[in-house]
Amino acid sequence: MTMSQRKSALATIAARPSEAPVNEGLDVSSIYGQNVYSLKTMREDLPKSVYKKLVATIQKGEPIASDIACEVANAMKRWAISKGATHFTHWFQPLTGATAEKHDSFIEPDHQGGVILEFKGGNLVQGEPDASSFPNGGLRATFEARGYTAWDPTSPAFIKESKTGSTLCIPTVFCSYTGESLDKKTPLMRSLQALSTQAKRVLSCFGEDSEGSISVSVGLEQEYFLVDKALFMSRPDLAQCGRTLFGAASAKHQQMDDHYFGAIRPRIIGFMEEVDKELWKLGIPSKTRHNEVAPAQFEIAPVFESCNWAVDQNMMTMEVLRTVADRHDLVCLTHEKPFAGINGSGKHNNWSIVSPSGKNLLDPGTNPHDNARFLTVLCAIIKAVNEYQGLLRMCVASAGNDHRLGANEAPPAIISIFLGDQLHDIIEQLEQGGATSSKSAASMHVGVDALPTFPKDTTDRNRTSPFAFTGNKFEFRAVGSNQSAAGPNTVLNTIVASALDEIATVLEGATEENFNQVLQDLLQKIVKENKQILFNGDGYTDEWKKEAVEQRGLLNLVTSPEAYEVLKKPEYIDVFNKYSVLSPAELECRYEVHTEVYAQIIEIEAQMTYEMAKTMILPAALSQVETLASNLTSLKGLGITAGTATLTASLEKVGGLVDALGSAIADLEPLVGSHDTPVVIAKMNAVRDAADAIEIEVADDKWPLAKYSELLFQY
């Protein structure tokens, strides 16, 4: 009998030698940032005047002059070549949600049999990839299929190393011939600008005028799974869909909570060390690593960075996780729910707003003036999240995240805000603020009263909230592990810009004398109108779902298709349009792409479910039936009765399960490719249920797919 892929994978794993530690040591500061063309490198590399103009471009968003571009390109080329680069690429983020690159070498033939290495200002500033195959949601006719990439100097160029060479990667935006955005980065950058403009207006109402722009800090905690590559090879579902479409629960999974923060296995720590090293070389400040709740699940988090760069760094982090895993005979799964029945993976988006002078506007201050500003920004966020809760839900919607949101390990699909008891109490006081009755003892006078100092590490951390205040930042926890963080941050920046705009408009009408009163009244009104979004309780419970929807009127958009529909709402179209983040046509394009990608994923999963059930699982089950039947026939032929009762019972049981699987497969078959996705999903689930029931009845050596007990524990 030939060994199944699964059994030979297990043999491979068992035979792998365990390696003793080799502590070569690592001088972190000498490698840190060596592969990124950072401001520091540029300051050393560029003439002073060029450097100054470039910094002005980066910090103030001024357009880049062509002579500056040429100088920068030249210096960048020298630097890249010194790092062994032979090629450059514009590195962009089309609406696929992944990154894209098309390499060109620096070589230019000198027509005398040799080459010179060239990289012109034009090569740096603009590219024209043949982009006809990127999703465009109807924005581009095929006869105008050209797309343009344009340098984003706010995210530094970097070197991607491969086995025998390296490539200079230049972060760029990607747009159509007619200038419409076809990527995730352009709207993100526009939203940052909108937020800066509106937040500056509010700051100036507080007498805080200053040069420069407001920035956003983002820290992205990334969860992922690791499985052994040999076992992965026996799972076409993992290879095609990134998640297991089949698999009975293993006896032990996460019920003992012994993986969370557990000692990290030597093989995994070796992987993590190499990941950190690669990230540090890229100037990505990887900081935290640990085992997560589910077996074989881990987390990595960097120190926060400026929003645009943080989003790019996260895309590179996912890539580094995948490539380094491969070197360790592991496969990194970034899907939101690779395994049924245990925790899925998210990407916690920690977000705060920073003033031009570097003050975190979500840091409650130590004096009444700072407190007033803090409460104003806080109320803007409360208002934004409540009014645009549908958009926040929409921006984390994906076929993968549908398995996670609302499952009892992840925030529900209902958006709400957790403030913690102390801050919640202050907000309640604010609501009663100005009251002249005896209750006024509990009322908050903005600009007069000082807030208590909150402990930064609030002990009452609520892990069940999708949007939680954590000391000096908000943490948006509903983001999916596999998605680009660009979308969620674009939405957050835009809706908060809108709320700040409304606040600024009121405050600009106040006089010096009545400013505190106007502010007090405004914040009180905002709290009154939006407090239904505030929820400190357990977001996982059914009671909350009921209360949220029935009493508070909050949205509960359970599936992605429902969530995408909010993009048709006029007030949502308006907010993107008003702040020039996405035009109605650009937004329509996102709607088209989201719904199409969703349908394609379900179609691929349905096709894979059908194929695997029919060609792998059913044959294994039938082989079990055959073995049982022939054993039974033999016994009967020998006139032996012992054993026949067990065989008969097994045969009936497995036979019944085979029939159930057969009919579930037959039900699914005509629906593969159907756009009636809820029905397709129900039929896929029925096939899975039947197959998983068979898994624990079929002889182990006949089972073709790596089991959960192996995938989750043999690494």
Q: Does residue 347 touch Mg ion according to CB under 5 A?
A: no
C-beta separation of 309 from 217 below 8 A: no
Smallest distance, Å, CB 332 to ligand ADP? 19
Q: Does residue 348 touch Mg ion according to CB under 5 A?
A: yes
Q: How many CB atoms lie within 10 A of CB 430?
A: 24
Closer by beta carbon to ligand ADP, 282 or else 301: 301
Nearest alpha carbon to residue 125 among 79, 73, 82: 73
Q: Residue 223 pairs with which residues in a beta bridge?
A: 299
- Residue 102 DSSP code: E
How far are the Cα atoms of 170, 208, 316 from residue 157, in angstroms, in the given order? 5, 34, 12
Return the one option of ligand ADP, Mg ion, none that residue 136 interacts with (CB less than 5 to 8 A, by type). Answer: none
Q: Does residue 301 touch ligand ADP according to CB under 6 A?
A: yes
Smallest distance, Å, CB 561 to ligand ADP? 31
- How large is the angle between the packed helices 368-387 and 185-205, nearest 10 degrees? 140
- Point out the residue whose Cβ comes nearest to Mg ion: 348
Return d(Cα 451, Cα 148) in angstroms, integer: 50
Q: How many CB atoms lie within 10 A of CB 116?
A: 9
Return the one option of Mg ion, ligand ADP, none that residue 235 interacts with (CB less than 5 to 8 A, by type). Answer: none
Q: Does residue 323 touch ligand ADP according to CB under 6 A?
A: no
Which residue blocks in 477-538 are alpha helix, DSSP H? 486-507, 515-530
Q: Work out which of 181, 254, 291, 352 binds ligand ADP, going by CB under 6 A.
A: 352
- Point out the residue whose Cβ comes nearest to ligand ADP: 219
Smallest distance, Å, CB 285 to ligand ADP? 8
Q: Which of residues 73-102 bind ligand ADP (CB under 6 A)?
A: none
Total residues at interface with Mg ion (CB under 5 A): 1
Q: Does residue 184 touch Mg ion according to CB under 5 A?
A: no
Return d(Cα 3, Cα 11) in angstroms, integer: 10
Nearest alpha carbon to residue 362 among 372, 371, 370, 352: 352
Q: Does residue 219 touch ligand ADP according to CB under 6 A?
A: yes
* Contact characters 605-644, Mg ion, x per CB under 5 A: ----------------------------------------
Nearest alpha carbon to residue 500 among 177, 95, 206: 206
Span near ligand ADP by CB under 6 A; candidates 58-66, 470-478, 514-522, 565-573: 470-478
Span near Mg ion by CB under 5 A; candidates 346-354, 480-488, 675-683, 701-709: 346-354
Closer by beta carbon to ligand ADP, 75 or else 218: 218
Closer by beta carbon to Mg ion, 480 or else 704: 480
Q: Does residue 345 touch ligand ADP according to CB under 6 A?
A: no
Return d(Cα 419, Cα 712) in angstroms, integer: 36
Span near ligand ADP by CB under 6 A; candidates 350-358, 565-573, 604-612, 657-665: 350-358
Closer by beta carbon to ligand ADP, 176 or else 470: 470
CA atoms within 13 A on the CB side of 235: 26
> How long is the chain?
715
Amino acid at position 290, single letter: H
Tokens of 658: 């085979």
Q: Work out which of 360, 607, 644, 674 binds ligand ADP, going by CB under 6 A.
A: 360
Return d(Cα 305, Cα 216) in angstroms, integer: 8
Return the one option of ligand ADP, Mg ion, none that residue 302 interacts with (CB less than 5 to 8 A, by type). Answer: ligand ADP
Q: Which of residues 627-656 bind ligand ADP (CB under 6 A)?
A: none
* Contact characters 303-322, ligand ADP, x per CB under 6 A: xx------------------
Return the one option of Mg ion, ligand ADP, none that residue 352 interacts with (CB less than 5 to 8 A, by type). Answer: ligand ADP
Q: Work out which of 350, 465, 483, 677 binds ligand ADP, going by CB under 6 A.
A: 350
Residues 6+ apart with CB under 8 A from 619: none
Long-range contacts of 419-424 (CB under 8 A, 24+ apart): 419/469, 419/534, 419/536, 420/454, 420/458, 420/460, 420/462, 420/469, 420/536, 421/460, 421/536, 422/452, 422/454, 422/458, 423/378, 423/454, 423/469, 424/534, 424/536
Q: Work out which of 473, 477, 531, 590 binds ligand ADP, going by CB under 6 A.
A: 473
Q: Does residue 286 touch ligand ADP according to CB under 6 A?
A: no
Percentage helix, strand, coil, to 5, in the chain? Answer: 50, 15, 35
Return the one option of Mg ion, ligand ADP, none that residue 94 interacts with (CB less than 5 to 8 A, by type). Answer: none
CA atoms within 13 A on the CB side of 49: 4
- Residue 453 DSSP code: P
Span near ligand ADP by CB under 6 A; candidates 147-155, 298-306, 508-516, 643-651: 298-306
Q: Does residue 221 touch ligand ADP according to CB under 6 A?
A: yes
Tokens of 42: 């540029």
Smallest distance, Å, CB 299 to ligand ADP? 8
C-beta separation of 33 from 40 below 8 A: yes
Q: Does residue 467 touch ligand ADP according to CB under 6 A?
A: no
Smallest distance, Å, CB 476 to ligand ADP? 11
Closer by beta carbon to ligand ADP, 140 or else 473: 473
Return the one option of Mg ion, ligand ADP, none that residue 121 interacts with (CB less than 5 to 8 A, by type). Answer: none
Closer by beta carbon to ligand ADP, 221 or else 237: 221
Span near Mg ion by CB under 5 A; candidates 47-55, 205-213, 347-355, 666-674: 347-355
Return the one option of ligand ADP, Mg ion, none that residue 685 interacts with (CB less than 5 to 8 A, by type). Answer: none
Closer by beta carbon to ligand ADP, 316 or else 628: 316
C-beta separation of 524 from 434 below 8 A: yes
Cα-flanking dihedrals φ and ψ of residue 359, to 5°?
A: -85, 130
Span near ligand ADP by CB under 6 A; candidates 111-119, 248-256, 299-307, 572-580: 299-307
Closer by beta carbon to ligand ADP, 173 or else 491: 491
Closer by beta carbon to ligand ADP, 459 or else 641: 459
Span near Mg ion by CB under 5 A; candidates 225-233, 348-356, 570-578, 629-637: 348-356
Q: Does residue 298 touch ligand ADP according to CB under 6 A?
A: no
Q: Does residue 386 touch ligand ADP according to CB under 6 A?
A: no
User: Which region holds residue 401: left if phi is over 0, alpha if psi is between -120 and 50, else beta?
Assistant: alpha
**Helix count and strand count (H, E) for the chain:** 24, 17
Cα-flanking dihedrals φ and ψ of residue 468, to 5°?
A: -120, 140
Closer by beta carbon to ligand ADP, 291 or else 350: 350
Closer by beta carbon to ligand ADP, 349 or else 386: 349
Q: How many CB atoms lie within 10 A of CB 456?
A: 10
Return d(Cα 607, Cα 613) in angstroms, integer: 10
Q: Are strands 85-92 and 166-176 parallel, antiparallel or unpaired?
A: parallel
Smallest distance, Å, CB 304 to ligand ADP? 3
Query: Contact residues for Mg ion (CB under 5 A)?
Result: 348
Residue ranges that bind ligand ADP, judged by CB under 6 A: 217-219, 221, 301-304, 350-352, 360, 470, 472-473
